[in-house]
Amino acid sequence: MTVATENIGEDGFAEVVTLGENDPLRLTSGEILSPIKVAYKCWGKLNEDKSNAILICHALTGDQYARGQNPITGKEGWWPKLIGPGLAADTNKYFVICPNVLGSCSGTSGPKENNPETGEPYGLDFPVITIADMVGAQVKLIDHLGIDVLFSVIGGSMGGMQVLHWAVNHKERLNTAIPIASTWRHSAQNIAFHEVGRQAIMADPSWHGGRYFETDERPHAGLSVARMAAHITYMSEGSLTAKFGRNLQDREKLTFGFDADFQIESYLRYQGISFVDRFDANSYLYITRAMDYYDISADFDGSLTKAFEGTSVKYCIMSFTSDWLYTTAESREIVRALNAVGANVSFVEIDMDKGHDSFLLDCSEMFKIVSGFLAAEAQESGIRLP
Amino acid sequence: MTVATENIGEDGFAEVVTLGENDPLRLTSGEILSPIKVAYKCWGKLNEDKSNAILICHALTGDQYARGQNPITGKEGWWPKLIGPGLAADTNKYFVICPNVLGSCSGTSGPKENNPETGEPYGLDFPVITIADMVGAQVKLIDHLGIDVLFSVIGGSMGGMQVLHWAVNHKERLNTAIPIASTWRHSAQNIAFHEVGRQAIMADPSWHGGRYFETDERPHAGLSVARMAAHITYMSEGSLTAKFGRNLQDREKLTFGFDADFQIESYLRYQGISFVDRFDANSYLYITRAMDYYDISADFDGSLTKAFEGTSVKYCIMSFTSDWLYTTAESREIVRALNAVGANVSFVEIDMDKGHDSFLLDCSEMFKIVSGFLAAEAQESGIRLP
C-alpha cells in the first residue's frame, strides 16, 4: 500500500489493480467474476487511522479521471472544481479515491477487457451487472486499500445510485453519503430512453452482435445516436432554448436540406461523434442496463423506508430545479423515507437552469454545500488531518 | 364535383386528385412542384353555399383516414370520436375534409411517390418542404372543391401548426381555427429530438442515401429507433409510470440480458416495429424537417403579435397539462399574442395526464369544447345545414 501512505498530492496517482483472485465477486445475477481488474485514481493522503477517505462514484460515461488530465481524451477531468486542494473534497485533508465502475471501459473489468478464461475481449460474454455489483467491486478496492470505513461516498446521477447502494447495503462502512441529481429507482421513462440507445447500437450492423472487436468496424453510428438521445435528457428545455434557440449554424438562412441548419443539430451531432472515440458501445449497453435494473427498494419489499431502517449514515442530498431526468420529486421521496426512519438528512434543491448535467458544471452552491457538510462532519467526528 | 354535392355520409369518400397542372405549387424554398397529387378523405355533405366545410389537419405520422377503417393498416382512423354523426365535427351538419399532407406517404406527393419527370420515386430529389407548403397544397384542394371559406380548420400537434399557418397566412379563407396541443415554433429541444430520429434513419445502411426503393431493403431499424425516441416525447412521465412502471414483461424476474425485461421496453419496441410497416422513412425525414423549420413568427420579424394583426379568425386553443412536447406555456404565448391584437380567442388547458398524445385519445372534455365552439359559431354565422 505505497499509494495510500504516501502523499500523492493534487496530481494524483492512477493504477489498475487485480482483485478477487481468492475471493471472487459474486454478482447479483448469481454469476461469479474472478479475478477482476479495478482502475482507479486517488489524490491526497490517507491519514494514520485511515478515517479520511472519500470515495467518488462516477456517472454513466464517466471514469476514474475526475481531476487532472484524462490521458485518453487529453481533456480535464470531470469534477475538477469539486476535488482538489482547498476545494470541497479537499485533497489537503482527505484521501480521495475515484474508481472506474465495473462494466465500463477505462481499465476496470468490462466487455472491452480480456476474459481471463479465453484471452480475448469478453464482449457480450461479460455478465450483465448491476449497480450493486459496481459497488461490490468498489468494496474490494476499499478492502485492498485497507480502509474500513469511508468518511464519505459522493456521486452524481448514476454515481448517486452507487452512493445510495453503499449507504443502504454497506452502512457500517461509511459515515456520510452525498447523492446528487440522482434517484432511488429507474422510472419507465428513464428505461425508455436507455432502451432507445441500446436499440440504436444493436441495430448498427457494425455492432456484429457485440463482437465488433473481431472486425475493424465499430458501431459508431449507433453509439452516436444513443449518445444524442441521452444528451437531450441531460439538458433542460430552457437551457437548450437559451443556448441555441432556433439559431442557425454558420449560415444566414435555411438551406432546405438535411444538413445541420440549426446550431442545436450541429451541437448534438458533435456530442455523438466525439463520444464514440472515448467510449465502448458494449459498455454503454451494460451500464445502461445496470441503471435500468436499479431499484434500491427492490430487496426491501419495495419499501424505501425499510431500505433505510437502522441507518447511522448522515445524508446530504441535492437536486436541481431544472433536472427532468432525475427530478427533485424523486430526491424528495428519498428524503421522506429517511425522515420516516429518523435518519440524519440534509436536503437542498439547487435553483439552476442547466438540467441534469448541472452537477457536472460550475455550480458554486453545490460545491459550498458539499464543502460545508464535509467540514462540519470532519470536525464533529474528529477526523485527523493526514 | 360529384363528391362535394352528394351526401357521402358517415362512411366517407377517399380519392387522390392531381392538382396544380396549370398553376404550380411554389414552395417556400423557391422550388416549384407541378403537378401535385393530394390524397384526401371527406365525410358529410357540402351545403349549397359551401359554407359548412371543416378541414382536418393531421399530425406527423397521420393520414387522411381520420375516420373509418384505414385501408392500409386495417385499423380504425385516428380521430373517430371527433368526426362523425352527432360528434364534435358533426358529419350530419358539416362537410369534413382530411387531406394527407405534402411530403407524407399515403397518396399525396412526397418522396415515396413517382417524380413525374423521371417516372421513378422522388427519394431525396423531392424538394424540402415546410408547413406553409403543406397548407399550400391544401389551398389547392379547397380551391378544387370550390370552397371559398372554410368554416373551420382543426388539427393537433403538427396539425395545429397547419391550422395556425392557415389562420395567419390565409385568414380570409377560414372562420374559425382550432389548434390543439401545438406550438407556434419548434424549440431547440423539439429540433433535437427530431434530429436524433433523422440521424438514426440516415445511419441505417439500408437507407442507401434515400434510394432504398431501388433495393429490396428498407431502413426499418433506423426508422424504428426514430419512432421509439419520438414516442417517448408523446407520453408523460406520469402516464409511463402509471401504465408500465417497472413491471416486467411476461417474466417473474430480471433475466440479466438485453431482451425486453420491462414492459416499457417491449411496448417501445412494438411501437417501433409496427410503425415501419405503415410509414416511409424518407417521408419521416421530410416531415420532421418541415416541423423543425416551422416558426409562424419568422415572416413577421419574429413577432407573434404582428403575425396575428388584423385577424378576424376566431380561435379556440387547447393544451394539455401533461404535454411536455408542446407545453401549455407555448399555447399561452399564442393566446397572449392574440389578446394583444384584440382577436377573438378561447383558451382551455385540459387536465389530462397522458402527455402530448392526449389529443388523439378519448378526451371527452376536448370533444365537448370543439363541439360547443363549432355549434355556437355555426349558430352565430347562420350556417345552413346541407
What is chain B's Cα-based Rg? Answer: 21
Is residue A203 pLDDT above 90, yes or no? yes
Average pLDDT score, chain B: 96
Same domain, B236 and B93: no
Same domain, A81 and A130: yes
> Which residue has better confidence, A386 or A231?
A231
Query: Using one digit for the tens of pLDDT, what is the confidence trace for B129-150?
Result: 999 999 999 999 999 999 999 9
Question: Which residues on chain B are in Cβ contact (under 8 Å) with A198?
Answer: 258
Same domain, A79 and A175: yes
Is residue A4 pLDDT above 90, yes or no? no
Q: What is the spatial distance between Cα A167 and Cα A178, in angstroms, rounded to a whole number?
A: 10
In a domain, B386, yes or no: no
Which long-range contacts does A242-248 make (Cβ < 8 Å, 24+ apart)? A242/A353, A243/B188, A244/B188, A245/B187, A245/B188, A246/B185, A246/B186, A246/B187, A246/B188, A246/B191, A246/B295
Is residue B240 pLDDT above 80, yes or no? yes
Q: Residue B302 has which C-alpha cell?
A: 419574429
Where a domain ends, among A289, A313, A348? A289
The domain of A195 spans: 189-289
Query: Which backbone phi and psi does B202 adopt, to 5 degrees?
Result: -70, -20
Q: What is the spatial distance between Cα B48 and Cα B5, in angstroms, rounded to a whole number?
A: 8
Query: Using one digit for the tens of pLDDT, what is the confidence trace for B60-102?
Result: 999 999 999 999 899 999 999 999 999 999 999 999 999 999 9
**pLDDT at site B306:** 98
Q: What is the spatial distance between Cα A117 and Cα A178, in angstroms, rounded to a whole number?
A: 38
B346 is catalytic: no
Work out the average pLDDT over B40-53: 96
Same domain, B275 and B336: no
Is residue A1 pLDDT above 60, yes or no? no
Same domain, B221 and B305: no
CATH of the domain at A367: 3.40.50.1820
Same domain, A281 and A328: no
Query: Using one digit for the tens of pLDDT, what is the confidence trace for A113-169?
Result: 999 999 999 999 999 999 999 999 999 999 999 999 999 999 999 999 999 999 999
Question: Which residues on chain B are in Cβ contact (under 8 Å) with A186?
Answer: 246
Q: Could you give the ipTM of this predicted complex? A: 0.95
**pLDDT at site B8:** 75
Same domain, A44 and A142: yes
CATH of the domain at B209: 1.10.1740.110
**Interface contact flag, A225 B203, Cβ < 8 Å:** yes
Total number of domains constituting chain A: 2
Work out the average pLDDT over B191-203: 98
Is residue B2 pLDDT above 60, yes or no? no
**Interface contact flag, A196 B229, Cβ < 8 Å:** yes
> Which residue has better confidence, B383 or B319?
B319
Same domain, B160 and B282: no
Choose, out of A29, A129, A190, A225, the residue to mutate when testing the contact with B (most B CBs < 10 Å): A225
In a domain, B211, yes or no: yes
Q: Residue A155 has which C-alpha cell?
A: 456521486
DSSP A383: P
In a domain, A386, yes or no: no
Work out the average pLDDT over B13-35: 96
B299 is catalytic: no
Percent of residues, chain B, with pLDDT higher than 90? 95
| Number of cross-chain residue pairs from A and B with Cβ atoms under 8 Å apart | 151
In a domain, B260, yes or no: no
| Torsion, Cα of B153, B159, B164, B167 (10° steps) | -20
**pLDDT at site B157:** 98
Which one from A58, A186, A220, A356 is the annotated catalytic residue?
Answer: A356
To the nearest whole Å, the CA of B258 is away from the closest chain A CA by 8
Q: What is the spatial distance between Cα B225 and Cα B208, in angstroms, rounded to a whole number?
A: 17
Query: Using one digit for the tens of pLDDT, what is the confidence trace for A149-159?
Result: 999 999 999 99
Same domain, A69 and A153: yes
Question: Which residues on chain A are in Cβ contact (under 8 Å) with B29?
Answer: 256
Is residue A2 pLDDT above 60, yes or no? no
- Tallying the residues shown for chain A, one arrives at 386
Query: Using one digit for the tens of pLDDT, what is the confidence trace for B47-70?
Result: 999 999 999 999 999 999 999 999
**pLDDT at site A8:** 76
DSSP per residue, A288-343:
HHHHHH-BTTGGGTT-HHHHHTT---EEEEEEETT-SSS-HHHHHHHHHHHHHTT-
**pLDDT at site B178:** 98
Question: Which residues on chain B are in Cβ contact (under 8 Å) with A195?
Answer: 228, 260, 262, 264-265, 268-269
**pLDDT at site A6:** 58
Of B368, B380, B383, nearest to B93 (Cα)?
A: B383
Cβ–Cβ contacts within 10 Å for residue B306, how many? 16
To the nearest whole Å, the CA of A88 is away from the closest chain B CA by 33
**Interface contact flag, A272 B199, Cβ < 8 Å:** yes
Q: Residue B310 has which C-alpha cell?
A: 388584423
Percent of residues, chain B, with pLDDT higher than 70? 98
Place of cell 414552395: B27
In a domain, B322, yes or no: yes
Percent of residues, chain A, with pLDDT higher than 70? 98
Distance linking the first and last C-alpha atoms of chain B = 16
Same domain, B276 and B312: no
Q: Smallest Cβ distance to A268: which of B195, B224, B285?
A: B195
Which one from A133, A261, A323, A357 is the annotated catalytic residue?
Answer: A323
CA-to-CA dists, residue A113 to A35, A122, A324, B40, B87, angstroms: 12, 6, 34, 57, 63
Average pLDDT score, chain A: 96
Same domain, B47 and B119: yes
**pLDDT at site B6:** 58
**Interface contact flag, B188 A269, Cβ < 8 Å:** no
Q: What is the spatial distance between Cα B241 and Cα B1, in angstroms, rounded to a whole number?
A: 50
